[in-house]
Amino acid sequence: MEEVRVFCPATIANISCGFDVLGVALDSVGDEMVVRKTKETGIRITKLEGQDLPLETNKNVAGVAGLALLEKAEYTGGFEIEIYKKIKAGSGIGSSAASSTGAVWAMNHLLGNPFSKTELVQFAMEGERLASGVAHADNVAPALFGAFTLVRSYTPLDIVPIKNPSELYATVIHPQIEVKTSDSRKILKTTISLENGIKQWGNVGGLVAGLFMEDYDLIGRSLEDHIIEPIRSILIPGFNSIKEETIKSGALGCGISGSGPSIFTFSKGEETAQKVAEAMKKIYKNIGIDFDIHVSKINTQGIKIIN
Ligand code: ADP
């Protein structure tokens, strides 16, 4: 096979209590990429539609992640990449992760799958390092594994795939304001109190258990963030009202998606997820901020081949 076209899912990272360690892949929003083998070595990005992003290999996360793979591959040729962006860069739903994972997944596929998913996560993390200055794995892991993932450890990298409750839906609203990932990292404190630590790891454990047991109430109770959200939510207008109104509309919980400005909720069933979407829309219409909104099932497969 010389060429492959893939769907690269958007992802929600952090998921309230799991800063830098939890993430989940979405089904109804993502980019598309075409990757093809070339005789010449190296990587060239030949097309980029939908967003104004650099085509230079070393300035685009797809190029940087791809080069990390190429360095370790026993392959003397190279690749050409076309990127069709549907996820806006800086949205907080894993725009950079979609491109870096799509590139390495497709290349691995064209080479006959010499690398494991965990190795692909490592290559894709180099793309995240370019995008945000930090090689975090909480978006790239769910994009590659599908469903929910836990980064149990970064050194050594240990990714734990987590079961997806079948009736779980995500509603994500992206207010059209700019919050730079680097800025939303800068405002975070580097120390936490023991009291908040105890609350936070209780919730991480509760959330993971709730997902495995399909216990929607436990999932809802565990969607709490005592460390990051109180600081970051200040950057997102209307966050507190959205949280209050979506919970009233039946959402299990509500938090900041990635480093924002997108806000996510989880609901049991599509009907509630749609009701939650209406509550979110109303708030941003009242405030006068434009938005994109997505209601999505959880993507259990991760990146997939499309025609
Ligand atoms: P998100 O939170 O949606 O993942 P990030 O802030 O992590 O967005 O990443 C966006 C940054 O990565 C921007 O600075 C953008 O210019 C850079 N970037 C480089 N290549 C790409 C790409 N192919 N797709 C998206 N962003 C890219």
**What pLDDT shows up at residue 196?**
97
Strand pairing class (78-84; 42-49): parallel
Confidence band of 74 (pLDDT split at 50, 70, 90): very high
What's the CA gap between 15 and 13, in Å, rounded? 6
What's the CA gap between 137 and 65, in Å, rounded? 13
Q: Are residues 124 and 97 in contact, defined by beta-carbon separation less than 8 angstroms?
A: yes
Q: Please say if the pLDDT value at position 219 is more than 90.
A: yes
183 lies in the same domain as 274: yes
Q: Which of 60, 95, 140, 178 to mutate to test the pocket of ligand 1 (most atoms within 8 A of CB)?
A: 95
| pTM confidence score | 0.96
Residue nearest to atom 19 of ligand 1 (CA): 60
**What pLDDT shows up at residue 284?**
97
141 lies in the same domain as 221: no
50 lies in the same domain as 89: yes
Mean pLDDT of 260-270: 97
Residue nearest to atom 26 of ligand 1 (CA): 96
Confidence band of 178 (pLDDT split at 50, 70, 90): confident
Distance 103 CA to ligand 1 centre (A): 14
Q: Please say if the pLDDT value at position 181 is more than 80.
A: no
Which distant-in-sequence residues (6+ apart) come within 8 Å of 285 by Cβ? none
The distance of Cα 230 from the centroid of its chain, to the nearest Å, equals: 21
Q: Is the CB of 260 under 6 A from ligand 1?
A: no
Residue nearest to atom 5 of ligand 1 (CA): 90
Range of the domain at 176: 168-297
The distance of Cα 140 from the centroid of its chain, to the nearest Å, equals: 7
199 burial (CB, 10 Å; 0-12 / 13-18 / 19+) is: middle
Q: Please say if the pLDDT value at position 221 is more than 90.
A: yes
238 lies in the same domain as 149: no
Q: Is the CB of 91 under 6 A from ligand 1?
A: yes
Q: Is the CB of 100 under 6 A from ligand 1?
A: no
14 lies in the same domain as 154: yes
**What pLDDT shows up at residue 149?**
98
Confidence band of 1 (pLDDT split at 50, 70, 90): confident
What's the CA gap between 74 and 101, in Å, rounded? 20
**What pLDDT shows up at residue 307?**
85
172 lies in the same domain as 188: yes
Q: What CATH number should be reported for the domain holding residue 185?
A: 3.30.70.890
Confidence band of 31 (pLDDT split at 50, 70, 90): very high
pLDDT in tens, 127-159: 999 998 889 999 999 999 999 999 999 999 999
How many CB atoms neighbour CB 52 within 10 A?
7
User: What is the atom index within ligand 1 of the atom nearest the CA of 259?
Assistant: 2
Confidence band of 184 (pLDDT split at 50, 70, 90): confident
**What pLDDT shows up at residue 127?**
98
151 lies in the same domain as 220: no
What's the CA gap between 303 and 94, in Å, rounded? 13
132 lies in the same domain as 62: yes
What's the CA gap between 25 and 105, in Å, rounded? 15
Total domains in the chain come to 2
Instruction: Give the chain's mean pLDDT.
Output: 96
Where b means 16+ CB within 10 Å and e means fewer, 117-129 reads: bebbbbbbbbbbb
Q: What CATH number should be reported for the domain holding residue 36?
A: 3.30.230.10
Active site residues: 128, 181
Distance 89 CA to ligand 1 centre (A): 5
Q: Is the CB of 12 under 6 A from ligand 1?
A: no
3-class SS string, the chain: CCEEEEEEEEEEECCCCCCCCEEEEEEEEEEEEEEEEECCCEEEEEEEECCCCCCCHHHCHHHHHHHHHHHHCCCCCEEEEEEECCCCCCCCCCHHHHHHHHHHHHHHHHCCCCCCHHHHHHHHHHHHHHHHCCCCCCCHHHHHHCCEEEEEECCCCEEEEECCCCCEEEEEEEECCCCCHHHHHHCCCCCCCHHHHHHHHHHHHHHHHHHHHCCHHHHHHHCCCCCCHHHHHHHCCCHHHHHHHHHHCCCCEEEECCCCCCEEEEEECHHHHHHHHHHHHHHHHHHCCCEEEEEEEECCCCCEECC
75 lies in the same domain as 126: yes
